[in-house]
Chain A
Amino acid sequence: DTAVSQTPKYLVTQMGNDKSIKCEQNLGHDTMYWYKQDSKKFLKIMFSYNNKELIINETVPNRFSPKSPDKAHLNLHINSLELGDSAVYFCASSPGQVKGTQYFGPGTRLLVL
């Protein structure tokens, strides 16, 4: 069984479209994250949720809106996609402590044309 899963794996879309990425973890962890990895492999946190509550919201455009329907799921919705949004988006989870060991999903490769 996959511990942290994301769908879709690849996403190719036009500028201006709205898209969603879904994430699920079956590890029973309390904390989930969204990271963005750019073409230079820099990995930066975007959001963190603990038990469905937002605890980290980095300086991310408000076109990005996370939603956590329950503590096993954290989805990312992106409105009005821009070329600069092209990147790999990783979901991760950790057992409780925000700065402890994190378990990453396989990533969603987003390409905005």
Chain B
Amino acid sequence: SQQGEEDPQALSIQEGENATMNCSYKTSINNLQWYRQNSGRGLVHLILIRSNEREKHSGRLRVTLDTSKKSSSLLITASRAADTASYFCATDDTGFQKLVFGTGTRLLVSP
């Protein structure tokens, strides 16, 4: 399967703590994206990192990419209850004309 894997599958933290989730993929990529999905809603794009970038920031989000290890991480700093959602990575496999989504990490931030 081309599908990437995310780790952990589920993460439970307190408000104010940092949340880190990881994504591993299997093939060569041009870019990697992270999306958020709130319960019962569609996915929302968070950030895109290109294969020649190692780190990218957007507000409280920090994304890293290690193409040699075929892995990426998403760090959410100072988490809030509103960050409770599922987070998915998506890779653009250079061999295929589509995005391949990871299995997702369910994040629960308790007040």
Which residues of A are at the interface with B, using a C-beta cutoff of 8 A? 4, 40-45, 48, 55-56, 58, 90, 92, 98-107
State how many angstroms separate the Cβ of B86 from the closest Cβ of chain A: 6
The verdict on A42 contacting B44 (CB below 8 Å), with A48-B98, A56-B97 known, is no
The distance in angstroms between the C-alpha atoms of A16 and B98, with both chains bound, is 31
The verdict on A90 contacting B48 (CB below 8 Å), with A41-B103, A42-B3, A43-B88 known, is no
The distance in angstroms between the C-alpha atoms of A3 and B61, with both chains bound, is 24
Contact A106 B41 (CB under 8 A): yes
Contact B43 A55 (CB under 8 A): no
State how many angstroms separate the Cβ of A23 from the closest Cβ of chain B: 11
Contact of B72 with A by CB under 8 A: no
Q: Which of B92, B97, B104 is A41 in contact with, Cβ under 8 Å?
A: B104
The residue of chain B having its C-beta at the shortest distance from the C-beta of A109 within the complex is B40
Q: Which chain B residues lie closer than 8 Å to A92 at the CB level?
A: 42-43
Contact of B45 with A by CB under 8 A: yes
Interface SS of B by simple majority: strand
Contact A107 B98 (CB under 8 A): no
The distance in angstroms between the C-alpha atoms of A4 and B45, with both chains bound, is 13
A-contacting residues, B47-103, CB 8 Å: 48, 86, 88, 92, 97-99, 101, 103
Q: Which chain B residues lie closer than 8 Å to A43 at the CB level?
A: 43, 88, 101, 104
Contact B42 A106 (CB under 8 A): yes
Q: Which chain A residues lie closer than 8 Å to B97 at the CB level?
A: 48, 55-56, 98-99
CB<8 Å pairs between A and B, sample of 9: A41-B104, A58-B98, A90-B42, A98-B97, A99-B97, A101-B33, A104-B42, A106-B42, A107-B42
Contact of B31 with A by CB under 8 A: yes
The distance in angstroms between the C-alpha atoms of A47 and B30, with both chains bound, is 21
Contact A99 B42 (CB under 8 A): no
Contact B48 A101 (CB under 8 A): yes
The distance in angstroms between the C-alpha atoms of A41 and B3, with both chains bound, is 12
B31, B88, B101: residue with the most chain A Cβ atoms closer than 10 Å: B101
Q: Which chain B residues lie closer than 8 Å to A58 at the CB level?
A: 98
